[in-house]
Amino acid sequence: MRVGRLLPIGLISAATLAYEVLLIRLFSIIQWHHFAYMMISIALLGFGASGTFIALARRPLVERYPAAFAASAALFGITAVASFACAERLPFNALEIVWNPRQLGWLAAIYALLILPFFFGATCIGLAFSRHPGQTGRVYAFDLVGAGIGALGIVGLLFLVFPSEALRFVAALGFAAAALAATGMPRHRWFATGILGLAAAVITVWLPQSWTAPGPHMSEYKGLRMALEVPNARVVEERSSPLGLLTVVESPTIPFRYAPGLSLANSQEPPAQLAVFTDGDSITAITTYGGDPATVAYIDRTTAALPYRILERPRVLILGAGGGEQVLLALRAGAEIVDAVEVNPQMIDLARNRFADFVGGIFSRPNVHLHLAEARAFAATTGERYELIQMPLLDSFGAAAAGVQSMHENYTYTVEAMRDYLAVLRADGIVAITRWLRMPPRDILKLFATATVALEADGVSQPGRHLVLIRSWNTATLLVAKSPFTGEDIAAIRRFAAENFFDISWAPGISASDVNRYNQLDQEYLYAGALALLGPGRADFIERYKFDIAPATDNRPYFFDFFRWRALPELVTLRTQGGAAMLDWGYLILVTTLGQAAILSAVLILLPLWLRRRALGRAGHRLRFGLYFLALGLAFLFIEIAFIQRFVLFLGHPLYAVAVVLAGFLAFAGLGSAVAARWMAAVGRGSPVRGIALAVVVIAFLAATYLLTLPLIFERLLALPDAAEIAITLLLIAPLAVFMGMPFPLGLGFVGAHSDEFIPWAWAINGSASVLSAILAALLAMHVGFTGVVTIAIILYLLAPALLAGLSDLYDQQGSVPDRSRSRVGPTG
C-alpha cells in the first residue's frame, strides 16, 4: 500500500482530533468547561457508531472504498460546521437542567448533532482497516500520527486565529482528505478531486463568521452576557488564544465597580474600571490610575490588604497578576519589589501595552517585574525570597457557586504547593490567599486544612500559631506565616478587622466571644471548623463534614472537588430553597455522562455482535475478543489521561500538557504500530499472542517506573525553559508510547485472521472504550489519584493477552489458505 493512499487517513484523523479539541474550546466559551467535556464525551460515541455501521454494511462499503472514504470525509467537513452552528443556536442552558426538564431534550439534540462529524470521520478510519486487513499496522500508524499532529496543530493554530476561524480550517481539512481519496476512484476521479479541492478552498475563505462565532450564543448566566445587558456597555478589545477568550468591556453609563472583599465601611468610590472576562465568565478589573495613591485608597479596605498591616515595605510575589489590582495595592502599601506572575501572555499584553496609559504604566515601573509563567512553577524555581506571597481572587463567584471547577486539576492549592510557597518566604514572610466565601463553607476550610498539613509536614508542631483567617460579607483571606504570629501582629489584625467591619474567624489566642461580630451568620462555621481542623479530631471532622474538605495533593490535585454522595439527597431536597447552588455540578455531570456513555456503548458493541453472530463464530471466542479490545481501549486512555494530568505541573499549564502529551502518545504509538510486525518477528517467534504479552510486560515495567520517578524528575527539572521541558516530556513518553502502540494492531491482525467481520466490530469497541475510559479516568483520579489510575491500567494491560491465550490454534488453522491468514497480522513492511 503506497504512502499516497495512506495520506487521506492521516488527514482525516488529524481533522477529527483537531475538531474534538476545538469543540472543547468553543463550548467552554458558550457554556462551561465541564459541560463541554460532557458533550464531547458523548459525541465521541460517533466512533463506536461508525464501527457498528461498518460491521452491518461492510461489503458494499469496502467494494466502493475510494468513493465511500471520500464521501465520508466530505460529510465530515460539512457536518463539522453545520453541527456546531446548529448546536450553539439551540436554547440549551446548562444550569437550568436542575429546574427545567425540557433542557434535557435540548441536550439530547446537541448530542445527536455532535455525533455526526465524529461518525463520518471515524467511518473513514474504520473503512481503511476493513479495506486493508493485512496493513493494520500501517493504517493504525497513520491514524495515530495524524491524530497527534491534529491535536498539536490546532493548539498552535488557536494562537493565531479565533476558534470560529479555526473551525474553517478543520472543515477544509476534511475536504482535502476527501479530494486525496477521490484520486483512487475508478471513474470521474479527477472531476471529484477538483470539486472537493475547490470546496476545501471555499470553506476556508468564504464561510461567514456568523455561522461559527460562539459569542452571541453564550449562556445568559455568564458574567459577560450580563455585563453587556447594561445600557451602553460595549466590547473595546478581544483577544483569543488556547488559554482563553479575553473580552475587555467598558460601561460608561453604569461603571464597573469590581472590588472583591470591599469593606462596608468604605466611603471612597473606586475610579473607572474596565472588566476583563475570560471565556465570558472569570473576571479581573483594569483600574484607571494617574499616579496618585489616594485615588485607589479603597483597596486598603479589602480583606486582601490585611498582610500590609503587618509587613513594612515587603518584597511581594503576586501569583496571578490579572488586570493589576493587587499590583496597585502593593505599590500603595509601599512594597519594595513587586514580582507579578501571569500565565496568559495576552493578558500581559493588555495590561502592559494596550491599556498601559489607562493603568498609569504601573507594569513599567522599575520596581515592578511582570513574569510570564505558571504560578506554582515560578514559586518552585525562583531564586528570590519574599516577605509576602499574594494569591488574589481571579475566578468568578458564579463559577465557584456552580461547582464548574470541580473536575479541573489544580496544582496551585495542594499541600506540596503550599510547602513550595513557604520555602521561598523569608523568616517573617506570609502567604495570603483570598477566596470567595461560600456557605456552608468549603473552599476556605479545605484551604485551612491544606495549610495545616503543609505546616506540619515542615515540622511545625503548633500550626494554629501560624494561621489567621478573616472574612468580609463575600470573601475570606487566609494568612499562612513562616514564623508564629506575634502579639503585635495580632493587635494589628484586630485593629484592621475593627476598622473595616471584618470578622476574625481564626487567629492565635482568639475565643468564641471574638467572632461573628459584624457580618453575622447563624453560627461561626469557620471558627468551629478551624478549631476542629487544629485539634486531635481533625480526621473525624473531615470525614463527617457534608462536603469533601480533605487537603488536595499533587497525586489528587482536585481542590475544587467538594462532592460527597451522602449529602446528595439532602441537597436535592433543598434545591428549591437554594440547595442547587451547593451542589458540585461538574462531578454530577461527569457521573451522568458515564452512565449515558455506558448504555450507548453497550448498544453499539452488542448490536453488531447479535446481528452478525453467525459470521463472527463461537460465542466464547466473541466474548474474549471483545474483552481484549475493551481492556486495551480502557488501559491506553487511562495512562494517556493520567500522564496529561500529571504533566500539567511540569509543563506549567493544562493546555500545554494536553497538546504535548497527547501528541507525543499518539505519534509514538503510531511508530510502535508501524514496527509491531518486526517486534513480533523478533521476540514473538511468529506468535502474535506472545508478541503482545511481551509488549505489555514492557508497558507495565515502564509505567510503574514512571510512577516512582516522575515526581523526582519534575522536582529537579522544573526550572528549565519551556522548549527543554517539552523535549524532555516527549523523550519520557516515547518508549512507553511506542510499546502501547503495538497490542491493538497485533490483536486486530489476530482476530482478522479468524474473520474479517471482527475488524469493524473491534473498531467500534475501541471507540466506545475510549469514551468510557476518558470519563472513568477522570472519576478515578478524583478518588484514587493518578497513581491508582495508572495501576489499574497496568493490570488491564497484563490481563489483555491472557484473553487471547489458547486461541492461537484459530490463527494457525482458520481459512483454506494459511499463508493469507498469517499475512494479516500486523503491518507488512
In the chain, what are the domain boundaries?
3-214+584-822, 217-278, 296-561
Q: What is the pLDDT of residues 365-394, one digit of tens each?
A: 999 999 888 888 888 778 889 999 999 886
Helix (H, G, I), strand (E, B) or coil at 326: helix
Please state, for a pLDDT cut of 90, what percent of the chain lies above it.
21
Round to whole Å and give the CA distance between 502 and 494: 9
Tell me, letter by letter, the H, E, C secondary structure of 697-731. Answer: HHHHHHHHHHHHHHHHHHHHHCCCCHHHHHHHHHH
Whether pLDDT at 404 is above 60: no
Supply the DSSP string of 594-619, one letter for each residue.
HHHHHHHHHHHHHHHHHHTTTTT--H
Q: What is the pLDDT of residues 734-781, one digit of tens each?
A: 999 999 988 888 887 777 666 666 777 777 777 777 777 777 887 888
Q: What is the pLDDT of residues 592-628, one digit of tens each?
A: 777 777 777 777 666 665 665 555 555 556 677 778 8
What topology is assigned to 296-561 in CATH?
Rossmann fold (3.40.50)
Whether pLDDT at 118 is above 60: yes
Do 451 and 458 touch, CB atoms closer than 8 A? no
Please state, for a pLDDT cut of 70, what percent of the chain lies above it.
81
Q: Which phi and psi angles does 296 have, rounded to 5°? A: -120, 30
Q: Which phi and psi angles does 382 have, rounded to 5°? A: -65, 145
668, three cell numbers: 509514538
Whether pLDDT at 399 is above 50: no
Whether pLDDT at 398 is above 70: no
Round to whole Å and give the CA distance between 200 and 78: 10
Residue 486 DSSP code: P
Give every CB contact of residue 419 below 8 A, 6+ residues apart in sequence. Answer: 454, 457, 458
Q: Where are the alpha helices (DSSP H) in 382-436?
A: 397-401, 415-423
95, three cell numbers: 444550569
Is 1.10.3470 the CATH number for 3-214+584-822? no
Round to whole Å and give the CA distance between 131 and 756: 10
Do 784 and 632 touch, CB atoms closer than 8 A? no
Instruction: For strands 282-287 and 273-278, give the pairing.
Output: antiparallel
Give every CB contact of residue 668 below 8 A, 6+ residues apart in sequence. Answer: 730, 733, 734, 737, 738, 741
Round to whole Å and give the CA distance between 736 and 741: 9
For residue 822, what are the CA distances in angstroms to 86, 90, 808? 48, 52, 11
- How many Cβ atoms from other residues are within 10 Å of residue 182's Cβ? 26
Q: Which phi and psi angles does 618 have, rounded to 5°? A: -65, 145
Round to whole Å and give the CA distance between 398 and 223: 8
Q: Which phi and psi angles does 269 have, rounded to 5°? A: -80, 125
Kindly report the length of the chain.
Answer: 829
**Nearest-CA neighbor of 129 among 115, 141, 120?**
141
Q: What is the pLDDT of residues 228-255, one digit of tens each?
A: 888 888 889 988 888 888 899 998 888 8
CA 462 to chain centre: 37
What's the confidence (pLDDT) of residue 762?
A: 77
Do 772 and 601 touch, CB atoms closer than 8 A? yes
More confident residue, 576 or 492: 492
Give every CB contact of residue 561 below 8 A, 6+ residues apart in sequence. Answer: 406, 407, 548, 584, 586, 587, 782
Averaged pLDDT for residues 34-60: 72
Q: What is the pLDDT of residues 624-633, one digit of tens each?
A: 777 888 888 8
Whether pLDDT at 71 is above 90: no
Averaged pLDDT for residues 153-179: 87
What's the confidence (pLDDT) of residue 582?
A: 53
What's the confidence (pLDDT) of residue 212?
A: 58
Instruction: For strands 386-391 and 368-372, give the pairing.
Output: unpaired
Give every CB contact of residue 394 below 8 A, 6+ residues apart in sequence. Answer: 282, 284, 320, 322
Averaged pLDDT for residues 677-683: 80
294, three cell numbers: 489616594
Angle at 442 between CA 437 and CA 448, to 5 degrees: 90
Round to whole Å and give the CA distance between 351 and 362: 9
Whether pLDDT at 58 is above 90: no
Q: Which phi and psi angles does 282 have, rounded to 5°? A: -55, 135
Q: Where is average pLDDT lowest: 89-98, 301-310, 566-575?
A: 566-575
